[in-house]
Copies of this chain bind each other. A is one copy, B any other.
């Protein structure tokens, strides 16, 4: 179902939706492992680390832990993930892997698609990455946001409704005037429940070649065949 009116602002999930964490983190891990002289399957490592992401967020969202940023959550989960692979790394190598989340490549064509959309409507991130991480990532990957909106500004993490409501409030809009674009059904479902409009962009390679991508969720107001297609739908 199409929203009644065009969105007045479009906010974007970032990890997996705009940038390829799988390929980029795999490359970071390959480089760090080689330098450290350890054997590590970088693709499997990237996937395993990312699988710790949602449980880490839940400690903040629903278990009452005071807010802390992704750098800290990733640093905390890293040693046990490395241990799954029988690997131990020194502090410097671990810090480099954590910093790797600030340097992830955009999916091909993404900066260009965002530039086209931005000519029509304000665009912002709406990510669980903290502001500093998003600053580094948007500069590295060339994502031309008008501003960075982060779960950090709500003191919790998506899919907590407070994050989506914070975005609408700071944008000076009603929730229904803001569209969240994401590749993840759970993010879109939570946004929809909070009153936002929603757009689904498929990123079939997000988890690598061996993991089936999600289908477009019923909560998606718009479903693009890719980001270019979704931008066309939003702007016409």
**A96 interfacial contact with B, CB 8 Å:** no
Contact at A122–B147, with CB atoms within 8 Å? no
A16 to chain B, nearest CB (A): 21
Q: Does A110 contact B (CB under 8 A)?
A: no
Check if B170 sits within 8 Å of A147, measured CB to CB: no
CB distance from A154 to the nearest CB of B (A): 11
- CB < 8 Å neighbour of A146 from B130, B135, B153: B135
- B152 contacts A131, CB within 8 Å? no
Are B139 and A122 in contact, CB atoms less than 8 angstroms apart?
A: yes
From residue 136 to 159 of chain A, which have CB atoms closer than 8 A to chain B?
A: 138-139, 145-148, 152-153
Chain B residues in 8 Å Cβ range of A132: 170-172
Task: Tell me the number of copies of this protein.
Answer: 2
**Shortest CB distance A165–B (Å):** 14
Give the bracket for the number of chain A residues in contact with chain B.
10 to 19
Q: Which of B135, B145, B146 contacts A122 (CB 8 A)?
A: B135
B contact residues around A131 at 8 Å (CB): 147, 170-172
State A123–B56 Cα separation when bound (angstroms): 31
Q: Which of B130, B138, B147, B172 contacts A148 (CB 8 A)?
A: B147
A170 partner residues in chain B, CB cutoff 8 A? 130-132, 152
Shortest CB distance A170–B (Å): 4
Q: Could you tell me the distance in whole angstroms from the C-beta of A209 to the nearest C-beta in chain B? A: 34
Chain B residues with Cβ under 8 A from A146's Cβ? 135, 138-139, 148
Nearest CB in chain B to that of A170: its residue: B131
**Apart from A131-B172, A135-B171, what are 17 other A-B pairs with CB-CB below 8 Å?**
A122-B135, A122-B139, A130-B170, A131-B170, A131-B171, A132-B170, A134-B147, A135-B146, A135-B147, A138-B146, A139-B146, A145-B147, A146-B148, A147-B147, A147-B148, A152-B170, A153-B153
Give the interface of A toward B (CB within 8 A).
122, 130-132, 134-135, 138-139, 145-148, 152-153, 170-172
16 A–B contacts, CB within 8 A, in A order: A122-B139, A130-B170, A130-B172, A131-B147, A131-B170, A131-B171, A131-B172, A132-B170, A132-B171, A135-B146, A135-B147, A135-B171, A145-B147, A148-B148, A152-B170, A153-B153
